[in-house]
Structure 1
Amino acid sequence: MRTATAKDAVMATAVLQQAGIETHVCANLPELLRETERGAGALLISEEMLAGSGATELAAAVAVQPPWSDLPVLILARQGADSRAITNAMEGMANVTVLERPIRVASLVSALRSALRARRRQYELRRILEDLNEADRRKTEFLATLAHELRNPMAPLSTALAILKRKPLTSEAARPYYDLMGRQLDHMVRLVSDLMEVSRITRGKIELQLDELVLEQVIRGAVELSRPLMDAGRHALEVHVADGSLAVKGDSVRLTQVFANLLNNAAKYTPEGGRIDVFVENDGRGHAVVRVKDTGAGIPAGMLGAIFDMFVQVSGTARAAQGGLGIGLTLVKSMVELHGGTVTASSEGANRGSEFTVSLPLLGHGVQTGAKADASQATMAVQHRILVVDDNRDAAESLAALLGLLGAQAAVAFSGLDALAKAEHFHPSVGILDIGMPGMDGCELARRLRAHPRLHGIGLIALTGWGQPDDRLRIAQAGFDHHLLKPVDVEELAVALQKLEQRGPA
């Protein structure tokens, strides 16, 4: 604020402070310009201070505002005709309000409050723009990281394929290359699965399949999933279970994923030969507590609050330099909260290890566990005539070849119309259909196959990349018996075919 006299400044300050408006009085125009650079809610200035070059200097200072800013300038003008200073100010600045003296206190307070409300909205806009810029920066960084992470498994896949093409190998000599390709493909599938899971969580489309679970069994399953990373890093992993009967209600697949992600995170950020401990305990207050503790890179204090945010990684570590999508801990937090639990992170600082603690509500009773069907024990022999339909020729022909190895008779079609024509003479007992085909999609094809008088009782399996709950509902309504996601899991496919075989003709 800059008024015509010191007395005016004292009086105005008292009035405005009584109205709850904080003021800062500037002795002259240069001081006002300096304070403007530091930030202000509004400028209240007397007409006299704009005489000479004052209006031009103030307009020049206001002109360098960032795009989000439109600083309100209120001019206390003398009574009577507009002066040249007023005219220059209004021509040089956009957000100018002229208040004629003498002015009622209520009018001055009202004008300033309106100006400050508008200024607060501008600062809110600045915050939104900063958040958008940060989100855009993270998105760009994420896409670059994703490309890097996908190239990593592609490189050994490409190399192994080149070796197998150029060098005749015995089955025994080729086995390491097949194993290598399988591992790298599994890694790519996990990347895509994590991305899909994040998408489902973001859109609120996640659905939990809740069962009564023995927590120790969930932890053991997670340990097996993370075993390759543990072995690669030569880490010592030990699980300490204080009470093996602790039971929770949850989605077995998602909870296993939670603890596997925590174990994988510990393995990645722990130097070779480190130690990782898992503690499973009852906190005595109705919750099971699982702590994953490592001797790794640790977490700087400044990052603890953001460690569960999307795409965040601990900077300055070898693992961060190598890449990683930065979504594993986001999935952990979201999944744990969906189960009514909490997850926290703690660390004594860089290179001093870290500890993640998951708390889940306990069941009031134990779980009667029974043996579940194991897909790996399913017979791999199937007696079916199978029509494979996919507009991707490589996908269709390779799957047909695989089905032949499983003992089935397989034919291929590359469109819905082609499939209907093939079905006339092939008489399939099972159709494995892609969904997202041009022209007639898999759902429409399924309905037509179901309606065909010669294909009564045909079994239908959707093999697709569409796996959201809405997709599953749409596909089930089209008449499919099973819904499998690409890339196909051989054992899962064999189980589905076996179930159709056991069902027999409808």
Structure 2
Amino acid sequence: MTAPVKFLLVDDLDANLIALEGLLKREGLELLKAGSGREALELLLVHDIALAFLDVQMPEMGGFELAEIMRSTERTRNVPIIFLTAGVVDQEHRFRGFETGAVDFLPKPIDSQVLLNKAAVFFDLARQRQELQESRLRLLQANDQLARSNAELEKADRSKDEFLAMLAHELRNPLAPLRNAAMTLRKPDIDRQHHERVVSMIERQVGNLSHMIEDLLDVSRITQGKIELRCQPVELQPVLQSAALTVAASCKAAGQELRVNLPSEPVFLDADSTRLEQIVGNLLTNASRYSGELSRIELSSETAGTPEKPEVIIRVTDNGRGIDPELLPRIFGLFVQGSRTIDRSNEGLGIGLTVVHRLVQLHGGTIDAHSEGIGKGAEFIIRLPRLVSQQPEEAAPVILDADEPAALRILIVDDNCDSADSMGMLLEIEGHVTRVAHGAEEALELANEFRPQVVLLDIGLPGMDGYEVARHLRKREATEDAFLIAVTGYGTEEDRARTKAAGFDEHLVKPADLGLLRKWLEAQGKLRLAGV
């Protein structure tokens, strides 16, 4: 809101002040009145005056003396003055008045139209000055904001470049051991011990790659607001124990002590158990990654809150590297990490905490990071809403007579030959009969002849995509009852709904979770034996 323009009226007679006020009164103008030169000076020290009307003849301090004081003071030097006088304005008075900085003389009785015209000029000038000052202030603020935005963009650009360089480094890291493992497995005289070590190495490096890819996908979903939870009543303790198991081996290998302290009484949450395990697993992985040998990592939980707002607190604590105080306020930002060493050993992508933070928020909780500084360890505290005395519903078990699953006829469709062929070999080793197709037309022809009971179908096929192939399979007598599994790199709720609509029974995100696949195949094998 624009401040009012202020005029100063100075006259020792109240009647004159009231008359001036009546004449000059208008919207946006504030009239300040003074009955003496001393009162006028007090007002001039407090207010920014756009125009002063001074009576020439006043006791103690006349208008000329007041004007001289105004011109000798920095604050009031440039205030325009119009003298009001009831006497004769001779040449000497005019000369003295203009010498003190007057812009005009008005004789009494005052011509109201002349007064209003002159006042309007200075009112408009004051308004223009205000608008210029406001425009200047807005321009300065805009320049400051632009400078800050440019600095933030430059910082973001540097972070992006650093991240892309680091991502290339991290993605290349597993390739060397995988290539070495492949060459080792080609050796005809490899013994069982070396074979087991190579297999473990492959599994470990593939797991690292999968973890990085999942983090990248999660960040993409977070920035697009596409992460969705599948919440249901979940018991907390098994989820935390499972998360601890995911890092137990790496902690042991690094000579770290992992402690888990959980409440003896069951604690239940309305949560997505997979995402909850991911939250805690990421924090434990970070704790292990940023702690050295012989360090201690602790996972604990406790109930808290009030009967009206029950909570559970989950803590992940370590006595490792700690967090720089400058980094702590933005620790959950995207691509934020501590100082990066040249070898970047075990530092990860710097996006795990961003994923954790968002997942905790989606669960209606909060997460805080604490550290006393470098070398003094760190603690992450999660607070989540807790269910009171509510256990998850257990599905009634399906009891089948068959103890062992049957071998299945499985058709694998993928235009990536290595992916399809390797999956076929793996499933044949596990006792199934497989056929492989690398295109849609080939898959449909083979399906009529092979009559598969299970189809692993890649969505991103050239030409006819996996959705269309699935629709064709559902219309054919040979495959209308087949168990169709979509194999894709996309795993959002929209993607799953689309595969379901196309006729798929399950949705498998690349790289395929072999444990989950085996579970589905085992269930299908038992159903076939039971004649279901």
Normalised by the length of structure 1, the TM-score is: 0.75
Q: Is the aligned partner of 1:347 residue 2:371?
A: yes
User: Shift of the alpha carbon at 1:441?
Assistant: 0.5
Question: Per-residue displacement from partner, 1:254-297 (whole Å, max 9, x unpaired)?
Answer: 11111111111111111211112223112243211112111111
Letter in 1 for 2:355: L
Which of residues 322, 328, 333 in structure 2 aligns to 1:309? 333
Letter in 2 for 1:240: N
Change (3 A) 1:185 1:17: farther
Question: Per-residue displacement from partner, 1:396-424 (whole Å, max 9, x unpaired)?
Answer: 12212222223222111111112122223
Change (3 A) 1:306 1:451: same
Which of residues 197, 204, 216 in structure 1 aligns to 2:225? 204
2:521 aligned residue: 497
Helix, strand or coil at the partner of 2:326? helix
1:408 aligned residue: 432
User: Shift of the alpha carbon at 1:309?
Assistant: 0.7
Distance 2:342 2:187 in 1: 36
Helix, strand or coil at the partner of 1:150? helix
Distance 1:266 1:450 in 2: 49
1:459 aligned residue: 483
1:54-453 superposed matches below 5 A: 104-285=125-306, 286-315=310-339, 323-367=347-391, 381-453=405-477
Change (3 A) 1:475 1:379: farther
Question: Per-residue displacement from partner, 1:29-79 (whole Å, max 9, x unpaired)?
Answer: xxxxxxxxxxxxxxxxx9xxxxxxxxxxxxxxxxxxxxxxxxxxxxxxxxx
Structure number with larger C-alpha Rg: 2
Helix, strand or coil at the partner of 1:300? coil
Helix, strand or coil at the partner of 1:449? helix
User: Shift of the alpha carbon at 1:446?
Assistant: 0.7
Distance 1:395 1:106 in 2: 75
Change (3 A) 1:164 1:453: closer
1:69 aligned residue: none
Change (3 A) 1:165 1:347: same
Distance 2:155 2:45 in 1: 41
User: Shift of the alpha carbon at 1:207?
Assistant: 1.4
Change (3 A) 1:456 1:317: closer
Change (3 A) 1:276 1:111: same
Conserved in 2, the CA contact under 8 Å of 1:280 and 1:289? Answer: yes
Change (3 A) 1:426 1:150: same
Moved more, 379-388 or 241-250: 379-388
User: Shift of the alpha carbon at 1:246?
Assistant: 2.3
Letter in 2 for 1:458: A
Quote the sequence identity (%).
Answer: 39
Helix, strand or coil at the partner of 1:358? strand
Distance 2:296 2:259 in 1: 8
1:10-49 superposed matches below 5 A: 18=48
User: Shift of the alpha carbon at 1:306?
Assistant: 0.7
User: Shift of the alpha carbon at 1:427?
Assistant: 2.4
User: Shift of the alpha carbon at 1:390?
Assistant: 0.9
Moved more, 437-446 or 227-236: 227-236
Helix, strand or coil at the partner of 2:333? coil
C-alpha RMSD of matched pairs (Å):
3.0
Change (3 A) 1:172 1:436: same
Distance 2:300 2:388 in 1: 21
Letter in 1 for 2:141: R
Conserved in 2, the CA contact under 8 Å of 1:297 and 1:317? Answer: no
Distance 1:481 1:126 in 2: 54
Change (3 A) 1:320 1:298: farther
Distance 2:183 2:292 in 1: 33
Change (3 A) 1:219 1:319: farther
1:473-492 superposed matches below 5 A: 473-492=497-516
Conserved in 2, the CA contact under 8 Å of 1:274 and 1:294? Answer: yes
User: Shift of the alpha carbon at 1:211?
Assistant: 2.1
Distance 1:15 1:198 in 2: 59
More helix by share: 1
Conserved in 1, the CA contact under 8 Å of 2:405 and 2:526? Answer: no
Conserved in 1, the CA contact under 8 Å of 2:184 and 2:190? Answer: no
User: Shift of the alpha carbon at 1:467?
Assistant: 1.4
Unaligned runs of 5+ in 1: 1-13, 20-45, 47-99
Question: Per-residue displacement from partner, 1:234-261 (whole Å, max 9, x unpaired)?
Answer: 1112122244322222111111111111
Question: Per-residue displacement from partner, 1:298-320 (whole Å, max 9, x unpaired)?
Answer: 11222110111111112267996
Letter in 2 for 1:444: E
Conserved in 1, the CA contact under 8 Å of 2:322 and 2:373? Answer: yes
User: Shift of the alpha carbon at 1:489?
Assistant: 2.6
Letter in 2 for 1:281: E
Change (3 A) 1:371 1:315: farther
Change (3 A) 1:115 1:367: same
Count of aligned pairs:
411
Change (3 A) 1:154 1:371: farther
Distance 1:502 1:151 in 2: 42
Conserved in 1, the CA contact under 8 Å of 2:234 and 2:392? Answer: no
Letter in 2 for 1:351: G
Distance 1:317 1:347 in 2: 21
Conserved in 2, the CA contact under 8 Å of 1:241 and 1:280? Answer: yes
Letter in 2 for 1:175: E
Unaligned runs of 5+ in 2: 1-43, 50-77, 79-120
Distance 1:233 1:372 in 2: 42
Distance 2:219 2:428 in 1: 36
